[in-house]
């Protein structure tokens, strides 16, 4: 999925950002992403990294600088960013920072179907989500603390943003659970389906001629 404006995605952006620092080989890129706790933003899969490098090569946003070999290790290719790659990276970055975008969310979609569960069933599921969110918040917080010993805060603001999102979601989920338990938010799926059937029938009735 393309999360970015234009035709380059999050992995391409990560590669261009690293190569803007200095030429490097994929193993070094992967090491830095892990060390800087970008695991929370990127799924650190070797294949994803190499696919992004391949796409950037085809677009002439990066080029091979040289190859090197250390001892008996396999030969490693060192890449560098091109002027076009630097320009593209900055243009997309500026667009993303300045323009809010509505991104797809599996949980948001699931909430639109919550009516298909009973209130009694929804409460423990939301409670489970709260517990899972708390665990995730703790992992991100711990990772942020550990990474701050190695890099500047500006290199970690995306993790701060993730932490803020997780905390906001936790507060909202807990509030929704409270409203359901208190009866402030109540529903009966049978009545809602009945109303929906009436609405559909009303919408299909032919209009009377004047």
Biggest alpha carbon–alpha carbon distance for the chain: 90
pTM for the model stands at 0.73
pLDDT at res. 3: 39
pLDDT by residue (tens digit) across 176-199?
999 999 999 988 888 777 777 777
| pLDDT value at residue 94 | 92
Kindly report, residue by residue over 78-125, the tens digit of the pLDDT.
999 999 999 999 999 998 889 887 777 889 999 988 988 999 999 999
Do 55 and 12 form a contact (C-beta atoms < 8 A)? Answer: yes
pLDDT tens readout for residues 22-49: 999 999 998 888 887 776 677 656 678 8
Q: How far apart are CA 164 and CA 86, in angstroms?
A: 30
pLDDT score at 43:
65
pLDDT of residue 85: 96
Is the pLDDT at 210 greater than 60? The verdict is no
The DSSP secondary structure of 51-66, one letter per residue, reads HHHHHHHHTTSEEEEE
What is the three-state SS of 142-198?
HHHHHHCCCCCHHHHHHHHHHHHHHHHHHHHHHHHHHHHHHCCCCCCHHHHHHHHHH
**Size of the chain in residues:** 210
């Amino acid at each position: 999925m393309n999360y970015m404006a234009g035709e380059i995605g999050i992995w391409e952006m990560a590669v261009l950002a690293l190569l803007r620092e200095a030429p490097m080989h994929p193993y070094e890129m992967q090491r830095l992403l892990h060390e800087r706790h970008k695991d929370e933003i990127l799924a650190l899969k070797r294949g994803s990294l190499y696919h992004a490098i391949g796409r950037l090569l085809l677009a002439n946003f990066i080029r091979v600088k040289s190859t090197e070999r250390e001892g008996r290790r396999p030969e490693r290719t060192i890449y560098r960013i091109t002027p076009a790659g630097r320009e593209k990276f900055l243009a997309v970055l500026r667009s993303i920072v300045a323009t809010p975008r509505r991104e797809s969310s599996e949980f948001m979609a699931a909430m639109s179907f919550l009516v298909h569960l009973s209130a009694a069933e929804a409460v423990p599921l939301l409670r489970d989500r709260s517990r899972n969110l708390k665990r995730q918040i703790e992992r991100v917080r711990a990772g942020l603390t550990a990474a701050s010993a190695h890099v500047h805060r500006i290199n970690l603001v995306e993790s701060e943003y993730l932490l803020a999102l997780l905390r906001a979601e936790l507060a909202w989920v807990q509030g929704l659970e409270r409203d359901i338990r208190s009866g402030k938010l109540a529903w009966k799926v049978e009545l809602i389906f009945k109303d929906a059937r009436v609405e559909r029938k009303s919408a299909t009735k032919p209009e009377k001629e004047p």
